[in-house]
């Protein structure tokens, strides 16, 4: 490849990277914490790192994500007011890393530079999966997907390829349990890996070894999970919510009507009742993919996409149904693995098209696809990112830091403070849904109390500044003080902020 051509491709890579990531940069300008971020900060502040790594989080044994949370917390100087930006950077970078791994994987598997850049644009520029890069806790799916795609790309007959795929498959579920798909995805990549061997018998053995290596990585993770008694946590979750029928129908609709339509900036009909037509539609899409794979002999791409798409929905929809299929289809993170699987199917078609019409494989094709998708998706992406913006959050976090300082000065333990103050409901964390309150982010204060339990509430509210009381309880905070003096816990609504604006 000449110097001039190499430069054109380098420029194409940079242009695609900028076009794909720039629409999400809003999160770096207006960073916030959201939902489970609060739970993770509460854990990392009040438990040892070892406890965080061993403890299941929402039925996921995910020590990798726990370690990332610890790193992000250390990088923000252990300050609540600095945490939103550090956590937002963590999520944004995870998205960039995953897309980089995806592009490299497509190129490594023989897709070519043009197809690789087009797939990165297709998978990255979408409003459908905003959640996974909008806040830190959602990025666990992203890291798991990056390792899963890595297992598919690395799998092969050589020992180096086997070890690489095995490591990726073992690491993927440490960020989110859906990463167990790395084993099957790697097995697909290993079975259909390019190889040059002397006989069919040796070829068959090497293909089997290449396929088994990533599955061994997944089994290693599962063995550790069982040893940590994680199976009991999963079993309790399965007892609460399993509906295979709804899961099948919802997956069919997502494959046939959500993924294709959302890919061009459309808004699917979420609320229509599920029916067997949805299952038939999904089956038709899969049938077309397999027919194309048979015609073009691209089984590695077809089955890898099937693992990510079918497995992504199969491991979530049947086990997360809580009475509303519309809610199920609207959860962004459940579409991430399937969206990349669908992108691999598109790459399969792209490889065939470039082979038939070589002119389509120029350096201009990737930036063109990205530019078109920016036009189609940009407005939706911007609107949905606004949902994660909360103007009052900075004041609330500063007030929590002040509350923590007051506890240390006055000799009030964290346990006393949590017991004395009513839960604070915010637009970015609902106690009923997440099982906690923003007050849980308080860190350790003093080892031994110097204030009687009955006097804690009044002491705290009288010592806190007016702006801090206003940030935590609304109004000017005076009602909370008067209620404390009267012995009541009902001095405020406990509601802060009016909710994020933007997309539904």
- 169 shares its domain with 289: yes
- 251 shares its domain with 164: yes
- 40 shares its domain with 179: yes
Distance CA 204, CA 185 (A): 19
Contact 156, 162 (CB under 8 A): yes
Give the pLDDT of residue 319: 83
- 259 shares its domain with 379: yes
Mapping DSSP to helix (H, G, I), strand (E, B) and coil, where does residue 425 land?
strand
Question: 3-37 burial by CB neighbour count: b if 16+ within 10 A, else e?
Answer: eeeeeebeebbebbbebbbebbebbeebbbbbbbb
* Domain interval for residue 410: 394-496
Query: Is 233 among the domain residues?
Result: yes
Task: Give the pairing type, strands 495-496 and 425-426.
Answer: parallel
Distance CA 458, CA 190 (A): 65
Q: How many domains does the chain have?
A: 2
Query: Is 14 among the domain residues?
Result: yes
Total H helices, total E strands in the chain:
27, 2
The 3-state DSSP composition of the chain as helix, strand, coil percent (nearest 5) reads: 75, 0, 25
273 versus 283: the higher-pLDDT residue is 283
- 159 shares its domain with 288: yes
* pLDDT digits 0-9 by tens, 460-488: 999 999 999 998 887 544 444 444 445 54
* pLDDT digits 0-9 by tens, 380-429: 999 999 999 998 899 999 999 999 999 999 999 999 999 998 888 788 88
Hey, what are 92's tokens? 């944004």
Hey, what are 172's tokens? 């993927």
269 versus 294: the higher-pLDDT residue is 294
* Partners of 57 in beta bridges: 60
Contact 217, 166 (CB under 8 A): yes
Mean pLDDT of the chain: 86
- 328 shares its domain with 214: yes
- 268 shares its domain with 290: yes
Pick the last residue of a domain from 353, 386, 419: 386
- 263 shares its domain with 406: no
Query: Is 305 among the domain residues?
Result: yes
Using 50, 70 and 90 to split pLDDT, how confident is the model at 60?
confident
pLDDT for 264 beyond 80 = yes
Query: Is 221 among the domain residues?
Result: yes
C-beta neighbour count of 408 within 10 angstroms: 13
Degrees to nearest 5, angle at CA 170 with 320 and 247: 20
Query: Is 501 among the domain residues?
Result: no
Query: Is 504 among the domain residues?
Result: no
For tokens 């040796």, what's the residue?
A: 202
Hey, what are 120's tokens? 């990165």
C-beta neighbour count of 285 within 10 angstroms: 19
- 444 shares its domain with 348: no
Contact 454, 487 (CB under 8 A): no
- 235 shares its domain with 283: yes
Pick the last residue of a domain from 369, 386, 403: 386
- 179 shares its domain with 232: yes
First to last CA, the chain: 48
- 370 shares its domain with 398: no
pLDDT for 205 beyond 80 = no
Using 50, 70 and 90 to split pLDDT, how confident is the model at 321?
confident
* pLDDT digits 0-9 by tens, 212-248: 999 999 999 998 888 776 554 555 555 556 778 888 9
Pick the last residue of a domain from 332, 358, 386: 386
Query: Is 502 among the domain residues?
Result: no
| Sequence-separated (6 or more) residues with CB below 8 Å from residue 350 | 111, 114, 115, 118, 119
Query: Is 466 among the domain residues?
Result: yes
Distance CA 36, CA 44 (A): 12
């Amino acid at each position: 490849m000449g110097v001039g051509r190499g430069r054109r491709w380098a420029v194409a890579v940079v242009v695609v990277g900028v076009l794909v990531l720039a629409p999400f940069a809003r999160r770096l300008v207006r960073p916030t914490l959201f939902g489970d971020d609060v739970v993770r900060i509460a854990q990392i502040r009040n438990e040892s790192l070892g406890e965080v790594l061993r403890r299941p989080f929402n039925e996921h044994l995910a020590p990798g994500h726990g370690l990332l949370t610890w790193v992000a917390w250390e990088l923000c100087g252990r300050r609540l007011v600095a945490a939103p930006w550090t956590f937002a950077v963590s999520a944004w970078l995870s998205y960039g890393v995953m897309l980089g791994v995806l592009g490299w994987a497509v190129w490594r598997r023989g897709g070519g530079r043009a197809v690789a850049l087009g797939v990165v644009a297709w998978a990255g520029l979408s409003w459908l999966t905003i959640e996974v890069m909008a806040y830190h806790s959602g990025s666990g799916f992203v890291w798991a997907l990056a390792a899963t795609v890595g297992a598919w790309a690395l799998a092969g007959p050589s020992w180096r390829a086997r070890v690489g795929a095995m490591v990726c498959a073992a690491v993927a579920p440490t960020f989110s349990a859906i990463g167990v798909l790395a084993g099957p995805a790697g097995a697909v990549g290993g079975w259909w890996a390019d190889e040059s061997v002397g006989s069919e018998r040796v070829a068959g053995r090497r293909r089997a070894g290449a396929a088994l290596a990533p599955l061994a990585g997944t089994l290693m993770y599962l063995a550790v999970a069982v040893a940590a008694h994680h199976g009991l946590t999963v079993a309790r979750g399965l007892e609460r919510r399993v509906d295979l029928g709804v899961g099948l129908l919802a997956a069919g609709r997502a494959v046939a009507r959500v993924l294709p339509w959302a890919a061009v900036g459309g808004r699917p009909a979420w609320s229509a009742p599920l029916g067997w037509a949805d299952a038939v539609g999904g089956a038709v899409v899969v049938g077309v993919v397999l027919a194309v794979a048979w015609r073009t002999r691209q089984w590695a791409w077809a089955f890898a996409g099937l693992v990510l798409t079918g497995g992504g929905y199969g491991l979530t929809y049947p086990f997360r149904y809580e009475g509303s299929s519309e809610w199920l289809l609207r959860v962004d993170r459940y579409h991430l693995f399937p969206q990349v699987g669908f992108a691999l199917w598109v790459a399969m078609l792209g490889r065939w098209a470039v082979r038939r019409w070589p002119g389509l494989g120029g350096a201009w094709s990737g930036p063109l696809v990205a530019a078109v998708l920016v036009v189609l998706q940009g407005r939706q992406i911007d609107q949905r990112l606004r949902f994660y913006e909360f103007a009052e959050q900075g004041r609330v976090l500063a007030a929590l830091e002040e509350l923590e300082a007051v506890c240390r000065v006055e000799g009030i333990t964290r346990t006393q403070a949590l017991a004395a103050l009513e839960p604070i409901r915010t637009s970015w964390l609902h106690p009923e849904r997440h099982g906690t309150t923003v007050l849980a982010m308080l860190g350790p204060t003093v080892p031994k109390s110097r204030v009687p339990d009955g006097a804690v509430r009044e002491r705290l509210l009288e010592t806190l500044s007016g702006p801090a009381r206003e940030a935590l309880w609304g109004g000017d905070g005076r009602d909370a003080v008067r209620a404390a003096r009267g012995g009541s816990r009902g001095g405020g609504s406990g509601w802060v902020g009016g909710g994020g604006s933007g997309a539904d």
